């Protein structure tokens, strides 16, 4: 099967940044180095023949104890991009280590990244460098931990917040 235009252009433009690529049923996936994620997404958005102008979703995956042997990187940040003009989708994945779960913010490219990155921070504890206001969005500020991490304790109590007098 012939490689898609999107994956071909990514491999040509960022040969040292692409870890892996694959396609399944017309949806392309590129696993990229985290240090280049902003440049790669900017290229995908601004290239006239690609025009991935819509950040559909941003989330993370925690691979703790899921693979045998375990992955060297515990987390992956996953970006789902869509080209309205060409009706194409691409998934960009960026692996992160447990020791340093940080990646650059995409808020300069897409305003919606503000909310999506805050949700990812809140649930997984992924830090987005350069984010204008990285704080919890679903849980209250005093909440301890990040509940979508695989090692989040199933028992225990959270600090209670009462009404302000």
35 pLDDT band (50/70/90 cuts)?
A: very high
Residue of 19, 160, 18, 28 lying closest to 87 (CA atoms): 28
Least confident of 14-28, 52-66, 148-162: 148-162
For the chain, list the domains and their CATH numbers. 5-129 (3.30.460.80)
Sign of the torsion angle spanned by Cα atoms 48, 52, 54, 58? negative
Q: What is the pLDDT of residues 59-112, one digit of tens each?
A: 999 998 765 666 679 999 999 999 999 999 999 999 999 999 999 999 999 999
pLDDT the model gives residue 107: 98
Query: 54 and 84 in contact (C-beta within 8 Å)?
Result: yes
What's the pTM? 0.91
Query: 11 and 90 in contact (C-beta within 8 Å)?
Result: no
Rounded Cα–Cα distance for residues 109 and 131 (Å): 12
Sign of the torsion angle spanned by Cα atoms 109, 27, 9, 84? negative
């Amino acid at each position: 099967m012939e490689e898609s235009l999107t994956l071909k252009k990514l491999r040509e433009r960022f040969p040292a940044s692409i870890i892996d690529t694959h396609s399944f049923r017309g949806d392309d996936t590129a696993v990229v180095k985290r240090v280049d994620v902003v440049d790669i997404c900017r290229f995908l958005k601004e290239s006239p023949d690609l025009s991935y102008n819509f950040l559909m979703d941003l989330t993370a995956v925690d691979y703790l104890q899921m693979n045998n042997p375990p992955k060297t990187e515990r987390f992956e940040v996953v970006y789902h991009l869509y080209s309205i003009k060409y009706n194409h989708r691409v998934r960009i994945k960026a692996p992160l280590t447990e020791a340093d779960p940080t990646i650059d913010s995409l808020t300069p490219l897409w305003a919606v990244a503000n909310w999506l990155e805050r949700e990812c921070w809140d649930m997984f504890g992924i830090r987005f460098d350069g984010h204008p206001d990285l704080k919890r969005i679903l849980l209250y500020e005093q909440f301890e931990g990040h509940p979508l991490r695989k090692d989040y304790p199933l028992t225990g109590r959270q600090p209670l917040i009462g009404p302000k007098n």
